[in-house]
């Protein structure tokens, strides 16, 4: 399925920015933990970012943000950062400063940088290759509304940029525990884009009665351009492997994408405090590895994830997989020290598991493939 016109490419590239070290989300927010910075620091400590493999991002321009977002919304976010508060009108109209979308020091610049990284990745993929933006994956962002901790929607902007290059088909695969609603809505009825989302059944922005025909349910196909796989609590490694092998890979082979954008939220991991799924990080790495072989262009994004150690270990191992680096059985001292230095004001952070400091690879969470999972695969292909 690789593009015969793709040119020989360099090793995978990681794109990020200093802003993810120098800024922090609003105090007390689930995202006010080191994620991108800790991931990159861990990769560097392990010797996995050789010269030439890291690219400093630039923020998306206003014009680039307006490719998807409305002018009045972008202006409102800029004004909220300048004033350090949102007006009552902007709270009501744009969902800024409320509902998990607080105003903080870099509420415009930080999301704009994540979008700039994804746009730079799309440009870099013109002739093929693999690019990794761990700050990306803000899949809930709406054209004129903040949603689900997402101010802007970098996956949508990246996909639009790939289409603008003349690519005939782009596939988006979302492994976050939350339904990738903003991306599906952006490409509703767009035959050039296939969106596939694996997410916890009933988890926001779904509703409990949406599992079959509702928003994000298995029969929600967005005019034919989407497939949704809402999975039950306790979703295990064996079940993800089954869905990848029996639904996602066949769908992608049939669609034959010129590029794949994959969102790798770490909130579906068993160690995440916010969801009820039970994956190991190795299951997510294996899923992305299966997609890696299906297109000449692969853009890998971050996403959710609210345990700093689980996120950093997962996303670091993902970078290792993309490069073919072997994961050590036990982390060397400097890497372990880096992880031990993290402080997380959560009950899990006050009594962290020792393996979060000493290992990169989670213990596997194999289990039975339940009938509901088999039914999901059948319905996706039907």
User: Domain limits of the chain?
Assistant: 13-57+113-381
Exposure string of 290-302, with b = 16+ CB inside 10 Å and e = fewer, is: bbbebbbbbbbbb
Calculate Rg over the CA atoms of the chain: 19
CA distance to 27, 31, 148, 208, per residue, from 76 (Å): 22, 22, 18, 33
Closest CA to 352 of 271, 234, 243, 263: 271
Residue 13's DSSP bridge partners are 131
**Catalytic entry in 69, 140, 178, 365:** 140
Torsion of CA 136, 141, 147, 150, to 10 degrees: 20
361: closest CA among 270, 251, 280? 280
Indicate if 188 belongs to the active site: no
Tens-place pLDDT, residues 152-199: 999 999 999 999 999 999 999 999 999 999 999 999 999 999 999 999
Q: What are phi and psi of 99, to 5 degrees?
A: 55, 45
Burial class (CB in 10 A: 0-12, 13-18, 19+), 164: exposed
89-99 burial, b for 16+ CB within 10 Å, e for fewer? ebbeebbbbee
Interatomic CA distance for residues 365 and 367, integer angstroms: 7
Give yes or no for a contact between 108 and 141, defined as CB atoms under 8 angstroms apart: no
Name the stretches of the chain with pLDDT < 70. 1-9
E-state strands within 40-117: 54-56
Phi, psi angle pair for 11, to nearest 5°: -60, 165
Q: How far is CA 39 from CA 10, 34, 262, 289, 319, in A?
A: 22, 8, 18, 19, 9
CATH 3.40.50.1980 fits 13-57+113-381, yes or no: no
d(CA 115, CA 132): 13
Residue 302 CA to residue 256 CA, distance in Å, equals 24
Contacts of 107 (CB under 8 A, 6+ apart): 77, 80, 81, 96, 151
Q: What would the pLDDT profile of 19-76 be if each residue is shown by its tens digit?
A: 999 999 999 999 999 999 999 999 999 999 998 999 999 999 999 999 999 999 999 9
Contact between residue 84 and residue 134 where contact means Cβ atoms under 8 Å apart = no
Rounded CA-CA distance 315/40 in Å is 9
CB-based burial of residue 224 (10 Å sphere; 0-12 exposed, 13-18 middle, 19+ buried)?
A: exposed
Sheet harboring 129-133: ordered strands across?
Answer: 54-56, 13-16, 129-133, 297-301, 259-263, 170-174, 193-200, 226-231
Q: Where are the alpha helices (DSSP H) in 256-381?
A: 281-292, 308-323, 333-340, 347-350, 355-358, 371-381
Q: What pLDDT is attached to residue 5?
A: 47
**Token pair in block for residue 315:** 């996303």
227 has which bridge partners?
A: 196
Q: How far apart are CA 62 and CA 77, in angstroms?
A: 11
């Amino acid at each position: 399925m690789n593009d015969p016109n793709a040119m020989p490419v360099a090793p995978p590239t990681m794109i990020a920015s200093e802003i993810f070290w120098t800024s922090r989300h609003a105090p007390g927010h689930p995202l006010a933990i080191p994620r991108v910075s800790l991931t990159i620091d861990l990769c560097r400590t392990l010797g996995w970012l050789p010269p030439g493999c890291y690219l400093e991002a630039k923020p998306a321009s206003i014009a680039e943000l307006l490719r998807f977002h409305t002018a009045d919304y972008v202006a409102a976010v800029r004004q909220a950062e300048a004033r350090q508060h949102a007006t009552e009108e902007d709270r009501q109209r744009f969902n800024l400063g409320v509902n998990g979308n607080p105003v903080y020091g870099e509420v415009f610049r930080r999301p704009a940088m994540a979008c700039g990284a994804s746009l730079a990745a799309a440009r870099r993929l013109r002739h093929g290759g693999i690019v990794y933006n761990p700050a990306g994956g803000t899949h809930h962002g709406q054209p004129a509304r903040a949603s689900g901790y997402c101010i802007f929607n970098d996956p949508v902007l990246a996909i639009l940029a790939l289409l603008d290059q003349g690519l005939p088909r782009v596939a988006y695969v979302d492994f976050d525990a939350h339904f990738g609603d903003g991306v599906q809505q952006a490409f509703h009825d767009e035959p050039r884009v296939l969106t596939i989302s694996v997410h916890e059944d009933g988890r926001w922005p779904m509703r409990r009665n949406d599992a079959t025909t509702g928003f994000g349910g298995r029969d929600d196909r967005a005019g034919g351009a989407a497939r949704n796989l809402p999975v039950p609590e306790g979703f295990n490694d064996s079940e993800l492997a089954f869905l990848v092998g029996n639904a996602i890979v066949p769908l992608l082979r049939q669609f034959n994408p010129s590029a794949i954008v994959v969102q790798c939220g770490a909130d579906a991991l068993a160690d995440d405090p916010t969801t009820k799924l039970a994956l190991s990080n190795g299951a997510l790495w294996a899923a992305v590895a299966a997609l890696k072989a299906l297109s000449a262009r692969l853009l890998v994004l971050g996403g959710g994830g609210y345990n700093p150690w689980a996120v950093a270990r997962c996303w670091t191992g993902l970078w290792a997989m993309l490069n073919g680096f072997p994961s050590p059985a036990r982390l060397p001292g400097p890497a372990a020290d880096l992880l031990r230095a993290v402080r997380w004001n959560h009950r899990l952070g006050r009594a962290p598991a020792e393996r979060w400091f000493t290992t990169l690879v989670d213990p596997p969470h194999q289990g039975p493939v339940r009938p509901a999972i088999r039914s999901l695969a059948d319905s996706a292909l039907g």
